[in-house]
Amino acid sequence: MRVLVIGSGAREHALCVALQSDPAVTALACAPGNAGTRSIAEAVPLDGADPVAVAALATSWGADLVVIGPEVPLVAGAADAVREAGIACFGPSAQAAQIEGSKSFAKHVMTAAGVPTARAWPVGGPAELETALDEAAALVPGAPYVVKDDGLAAGKGVVVTTSREEAVAHGHRVLEAGGAVLVEEYLDGPEVSLFAVTDGTTVLPLVPAQDHKRRDDGDAGPNTGGMGAYAPLPWAPSGLVDEVLATVLQPTVDEMARRGESFSGLLYAGLALTSRGIRVVEFNARFGDPETQVVLPLLETPLGGLLHAAATGALADHPPLRWRSGAAVTVVVAAAGYPERPRTGDPVTGADGEGVLHAGTAADADGTVRSAGGRVLAVTATGADLAAARQTAYERVAGVRLAGAHWRTDIALAAVEGRITL
């Protein structure tokens, strides 16, 4: 099976590592890829990610399966175009990807499916913003305000703040940029990312992981695309995956099918385990980054066969997933200035070390690796338990050099120290 992965982040590097170890995968390419993917997958150029270009590349490269990593090509219809070209594609249609592309669409689906989520107030203008903030404050007195950009914002469109002024300013910024705004009920409790592979009918959940969204140690600083992750979650209640499958994942997939917008691909449930029960924070329509970097190393089932089964409606016949024991930790090494204004073009050394997944990197003609994005590397390790995986991951971080780089030093620490409570 010839597999073409679309994207250029650490998620795609992790997908390539897992696909490469599947004996059924006879050829592997990543477009456009980065300086890391090119060491294990053929680098094929891809200009932008418009659906026509993706489908043309899939055809000319002779792909049997296309795996689309990021949300932007999915929302633009890349999976539809690949399927129209007669090639199996892992990833939802443009319509189904609206579950990530539009937070208000996701809310409609959840309401229809009876899936628990935060209450939300759509905001059309500045006056409605004030009313929505008043109503949110009345619902959970003393809780922070949650103000969201309704569209795709790479994880950076949300402000959670106790400052009314900051909440109003964020809302105005999004409205002035022509976007739509949602004010939401505040969800307390630890967050869980649970991925499920689905063909639109059958749903196979993966192991739960936890992301660290804030830039700095102790969950301080601004929201980012994700600064590190670990899996599994030693503190998660037993039965969590079954409960999320029964109350969130399956009802959502069924509701999408009922609407004629069948969702196949990776359904990512971002959850909060609140004092009032499980709530969906958001859905994504693709593998999460950085959680993929810790979930895939634990998956023993060959990835190519699994994704192909999902892409061809054959998941009901797929054997149950097998998992390795132990744990995985990934630490994101970010460029100076990330997330506001990442500096690029700095040389990176030590990036060919074991477990070092590339995110925003590019190689010069002479092989020098340079930073080419905000999140530059995702340094990953597995171990017998979370403490061991964490220690190895940070030893590997110490082997990397990038001027001005920053990373969190507390990835998975609260879990290792037993400080996460429900």
Cβ-contact 5, 28 below 8 angstroms: yes
User: Which of ligand AMP, ligand GLY, none is residue 289 near (CB under 5 to 8 Å by kind)?
Assistant: ligand GLY
- 281 binds ligand AMP per the rule CB under 6 A: yes
- 219 binds ligand AMP per the rule CB under 6 A: no
Q: Which string of DSSP letters, residue by residue, matches 34-70?
A: -TTGGGTSEE----TT-HHHHHHHHHHHT-SEEEE-S
Rounded Cα–Cα distance for residues 339 and 218 (Å): 17
| Dihedral angle over CA of 57, 59, 61, 63, nearest 10 | 110
User: Which of ligand GLY, ligand AMP, none is residue 80 near (CB under 5 to 8 Å by kind)?
Assistant: none
> Exactly one of 155, 251, 305, 339 binds ligand GLY (CB under 6 A); which one?
155
**Between 104 and 201, whose beta carbon lies closer to ligand GLY?**
104
Cβ-contact 3, 19 below 8 angstroms: yes
- 158 binds ligand AMP per the rule CB under 6 A: yes
Rounded Cα–Cα distance for residues 49 and 375 (Å): 20
> Exactly one of 118, 192, 335, 412 binds ligand AMP (CB under 6 A); which one?
118
DSSP 141: T
- 121 binds ligand AMP per the rule CB under 6 A: no
**Between 261 and 282, whose beta carbon lies closer to ligand AMP?**
282
Rounded Cα–Cα distance for residues 391 and 355 (Å): 13
Least gap, CB of 359 to ligand AMP (angstroms): 19
- 288 binds ligand GLY per the rule CB under 6 A: yes
- 155 binds ligand AMP per the rule CB under 6 A: yes
Least gap, CB of 343 to ligand GLY (angstroms): 23
- 291 binds ligand GLY per the rule CB under 6 A: yes
User: Which of ligand GLY, ligand AMP, none is residue 186 near (CB under 5 to 8 Å by kind)?
Assistant: ligand AMP
**For residues 177-216, which are near ligand GLY according to CB under 6 A?**
211
Element (H, E) at 413: helix 413-416
Least gap, CB of 4 to ligand AMP (angstroms): 28
Cβ-contact 306, 197 below 8 angstroms: yes
The DSSP bridge partners found for residue 349 are: 401
Give the Cβ contact number of residue 421 at 10 Å: 8
> Exactly one of 51, 69, 200, 226 binds ligand GLY (CB under 6 A); which one?
226
Cβ-contact 151, 157 below 8 angstroms: yes
Binding residues for ligand GLY (CB under 6 A): 155, 211, 226, 284, 288-289, 291
Binding residues for ligand AMP (CB under 6 A): 118, 146, 148, 155, 157-158, 160, 184-187, 191, 213, 223, 270, 281-282
